[in-house]
Amino acid sequence: MVRRKSLKGDYCPSARSLDAIGDWWSLLIVRDAFDGLTRFNEFQKSLGIAKNILSDRLRTLVARGILKAVPAGDGSHQEYRLTEKGRDLFPVMVALRQWGEQHLFLPGEKHSKLVERDTGKTIRLEVRTEDGRPVGPDDAVILRVPEPEAP
Which residue's CB is nearer to DNA, number 69 or number 92? 69
Q: How far apart, in Å, are the Cα atoms of 143 and each of 11, 78, 150?
A: 11, 43, 21
Residues numbered 23-42 forming contacts with a second copy, rule: CB under 8 A:
23-24, 27-28, 31, 34-35
Residue 73 contacts which entry, a second copy, DNA, none (Cβ below 5-8 A, type-dependent): none
Q: Taking Cα atoms as reference points, which of 23, 28, 3, 6 lies closest to residue 15?
A: 6
Rounded to 10°, the helix 26-34/90-103 angle is: 100
**78 part of the interface to a second copy, by CB under 8 A:** no
> Using an 8 Å Cβ cutoff, are 69 and 55 in contact?
no
> Using an 8 Å Cβ cutoff, are 97 and 124 in contact?
no
Residue 3 contacts which entry, a second copy, DNA, none (Cβ below 5-8 A, type-dependent): DNA
Which of 23, 90, 94, 101: binder of DNA (CB under 7 A)? 23
**110 part of the interface to a second copy, by CB under 8 A:** yes
In angstroms and rounded to an integer, the radius of gyration of the C-alpha atoms of the chain is 19
> What x/- string results for residues 33 through 72 when contact with DNA is judged by CB under 7 A?
------xxxx-----xxxxxx-xx-xx---------x--x
3: left (phi over 0), alpha (psi -120 to 50) or beta: left
Binding-site ranges for DNA (CB under 7 A): 1-5, 23-25, 39-42, 48-53, 55-56, 58-59, 69, 72, 74-78
